[in-house]
Amino acid sequence: MSPKEQIELIKRGAVEIICEEELLHKFERSQQEKRPLRIKAGFDPTAPDIHLGHTVLLRKLRQFQDLGHIVYFLIGDFTARIGDPSQRSQIRSPLGKREIIKNAQTYKRQAAKILNLRRLKTVFNSHWFNRMRVTDILELTKHTTVSQMLARADFRKRLEKKGEISLLEFMYPILQGYDSVLIKSDIEIGGTDQIFNLLVGRDLQRDFGQSPQVVITFPLLEGTDGINKMSKSLGNYIGITEKPQDMFGKIMSISDQLMYKYYLLLTDDDLNKARQLHPKEAKLKLAQFIVGSYHSEKAAAWARSEFERIFSTREVPQDLAAFELKQPQPFLEIIVQSGLVKSRNEARRLIEQGAIDFNGEKIREIGFIINSPGILRVGAHRFLKIRITF
């Protein structure tokens, strides 16, 4: 594939390339020297699960691999202790070392569902930062200024609202940028919320006598609520290790408008052809493709048939999980204990949306008590059979 053709492939879904002329030069030089480029993407292991929002970058990394380049999958196990301040309205609570290590190992295992392990180098930035002396870290601070840090939008907004900014947060983009220096990355990709951090990497590479990395940003993927960035803490995420039926149902619950963004960022399909399909058929096709990508074609076909069976006949799933009720109990406790929802906050949000019912009757009150057998439904695809043992 020619350098210009490589650019056209990589540009799909991209928001910004800084800069495209440099990218073309890097691709041309790579072919001339028969040297694969070093492609960097960093992931802080702040949660154990990789969701579809993460796969926007992971799929792009796989495209670079298929073009013959080497991906540096950087796990920010050191920087996760600081917490990325991007788009944060307040100081992030630090994570414990044990939790970070556990999440990091999960990330690595799940990323293998998408990336080619033969063209993958997994690196942990604690490998070099744990060895650096305090004087080495302080030396890095010479490469940026307080005025530069305060110019970034999220810090500026926080100050306008009289919020606090820790000095530790100033270090995050510097450390992320230094990762690029040590890796000697040619290209770094990230979400649009990462633009400041990625550009710091370019600046540091120049200061250290390296050719600056090309920066490519991609949109943040909205979750199932269609409003907020996909996030586990908001309960609007679709994890790549979720059960096929759950994944399928969640994808079918997104809006038609958001569906086309999913097509653009999560598939290689022609977007114009997808728009020519009836929206329901387009969404079924999308859900089947995504489930098949992370499970199997057989599992995806089963999830589709089960979804169509349930919603065409209004039946409940055949393999319905059961919850034994030993005494009358608030439904909120039941759906959290059973894992039907991840948190009480998610449950409250679903109640406000009118998305929870018991035996066909919508639950409107947070204190609703269940004291009889029946079927509890959450959203469009989560069911629980209530059995009474008292």
Q: Which residues face 239 on adjacent strands? A: 51
Question: Domain range holding 263?
Answer: 244-313
Owner of token pair 């540091």: 204
Residues 178 and 205 sit within 8 Å (Cβ to Cβ): no
Whether 235 is in a domain gets the answer no
Residue 38 within any structural domain of the chain: yes
Could you tell me if 55 and 102 lie in one domain? yes
Six-digit token string for 323: 């919850």
Q: Are residues 258 and 381 in the same domain?
A: no
How many domains does the chain contain in total?
A: 3
Residue 224, in any domain of the structure? no
Helix, strand or coil, per DSSP, at residue 187 = strand
CATH label of the domain that carries residue 68: 3.40.50.620
| Distances in whole angstroms, Cα of residue 264 to Cα of each of 11, 270, 372 | 11, 8, 46
Dmax over CA atoms of the chain, in Å, equals 76
Instruction: Render pLDDT for 348-388 as a digit per residue (tens, 0 to 9).
Output: 888 887 788 887 778 888 888 888 888 888 876 678 888 88
* Same domain, yes or no: 210 and 287: no
Query: Quick one: 24 and 146 in the same domain?
Result: yes
Burial label for 96, CB within 10 Å (0-12, 13-18, 19+), is exposed
Question: Is the same domain home to 59 and 202?
Answer: yes
Token pair, residue 152, equals: 């970034």
Residue 93 confidence (pLDDT): 57
d(CA 294, CA 239): 10
- Which residue has tokens 């917490």? 83
Burial class (CB in 10 A: 0-12, 13-18, 19+), 292: middle
Sign of the Cα pseudo-torsion (304, 336, 379, 254, in order): negative
In this predicted structure, what is the pLDDT of residue 89? 42
* pLDDT tens track for 11-65: 999 999 999 999 999 999 999 999 999 999 998 777 677 899 999 999 999 999 9
CB atoms within 10 A of CB 353: 10
330: domain CATH number is: 3.10.290.10
Those residues of the chain that have pLDDT short of 70 are 47, 83-96, 311-320, 380-381, 390
The pLDDT of residue 340 is 80
Q: Is the pTM of this model over 0.85?
A: no
CA angle 205, 9, 24 (to 5 degrees): 40
* Backbone phi, psi, residue 358, to 5°: -125, 120
Residue 58 lies in a domain: yes
